[in-house]
C-alpha cells in the first residue's frame, strides 16, 4: 500500500511550492509584491490539490470551474489587501 506516482508527485510539488513561499518572505521586495506572490502560489497549490488529490483532472470542466472560483477569491483577497496600500 504505497502512494501512487501522481500523488507522490503532487506532494513533492506542494512541498516545493511551500518552500518557495517561505523563501519569498526572506527576499527584499515590496510587501504588495510579496502578497501577490504568496497568493499566486496558494492558487497554484489549490489547483494542484483539486486536480490530483480530488481527482478533478478526470473532469476538466469541474476543474476549470473550481479554479475560476479560486482565482476570483484570490483576486478579491489581493484587492482587499491593496485598499490600505493605495489609501496612504
Interacting residues of 80 by C-beta distance below 8 A, sequence separation 6+: none
CA dist 38 and 21 (Å) reads 6
Task: Provide the grid cell at 31.
Answer: 510587501
Question: Which tens digit of pLDDT belongs to each residue from 39-48?
Answer: 999 999 999 9
Question: Which tens digit of pLDDT belongs to each residue from 5-14?
Answer: 888 999 999 9
pLDDT at 2: 62
CA dist 70 and 88 (Å) reads 29
Q: What is the dihedral of CA 52, 11, 47, 77, to 10 degrees?
A: 150
pTM exceeding the 0.85 threshold for the entire prediction: yes
The closest alpha carbon to 36, from 49, 26, 47, 24, belongs to: 24
Amino acid at each position: 500500500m504505497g502512494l501512487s506516482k501522481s500523488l507522490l508527485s503532487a506532494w513533492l510539488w506542494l512541498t516545493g511550492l511551500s518552500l518557495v513561499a517561505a523563501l519569498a518572505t526572506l527576499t527584499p521586495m515590496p510587501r504588495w509584491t510579496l502578497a501577490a506572490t504568496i497568493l499566486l502560489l496558494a492558487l497554484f497549490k489549490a489547483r494542484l490539490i483539486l486536480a490530483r488529490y480530488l481527482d478533478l483532472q478526470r473532469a476538466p470542466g469541474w476543474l476549470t470551474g473550481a479554479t475560476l472560483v479560486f482565482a476570483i477569491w484570490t483576486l478579491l483577497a489581493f484587492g482587499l489587501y491593496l485598499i490600505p496600500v493605495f489609501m496612504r
